[in-house]
Amino acid sequence: MHSRGSLLSTYVEIEIPFHDCDPTNVVWHGNYPRYLEVARCELLRLFDYDYGQMQESGYAWPIIDMHIKYVGSALFTQKIRIDAYLKEYETRLRIDYIISDVATGKKLTKATTIQVAVDIENKEMQFVSPPVLHEKLQKVI
């Protein structure tokens, strides 16, 4: 499924747990990257290249840049939807995210992550995404 000008997209829904909140029942800002991670893994699974497959292929894909814009607050027990959109893959993985309230559709957070391939053996960053990524994506996009 494609959306928002992306090459590939998916979403996950979660209910905010108590342990993610501050004393006022608002999600602590540092927990949002974990929500992005859940959606990112779901997106990577669409083309069979989650973190286990990355490692097996000889590459790590560390996040080298992350931007988060908090538009609204998520609260304890609130159900949220995290949409993940693959935007780039030729030289890096750029994934955009929208976090919204399931009940109302109200946008709560916008984010972007950038990941690059690093050869596990020699620890060298790759300036072009490795062929394995292209092969896996060609099957679904």
CA distances in angstroms from 137 to 20, 32, 57, 65, 70, listed in the order given: 34, 27, 14, 22, 31
pTM for this predicted structure: 0.94
DSSP symbol at 18: G
Does residue 114 contact residue 104 with C-beta atoms inside 8 Å? no
- How many angstroms separate the first and last alpha carbons of the chain? 9
| pLDDT, tens digit only, all 141 positions of the chain | 455 578 999 999 999 999 999 999 999 999 999 999 999 999 999 999 999 999 999 999 999 999 999 999 999 999 999 999 999 999 999 999 999 999 999 999 999 999 999 999 999 999 999 999 999 999 998
Does residue 66 contact residue 112 with C-beta atoms inside 8 Å? yes
- Amino acid letter for position 32: Y
Structure-block tokens of residue 124:
């060298």
At 4 the pLDDT is 58
3-state DSSP assignment of residue 21: strand
Residue 45: Cβ within 10 Å count? 12
Render 27-94 in DSSP notation, one character per residue.
BPGGGHHHHHHHHHHHHHHHTT-SHHHHHHTTEE--EEEEEEEE-S--BTT-EEEEEEEEEE-SSSEE
Structure-block tokens of residue 38:
């859940």
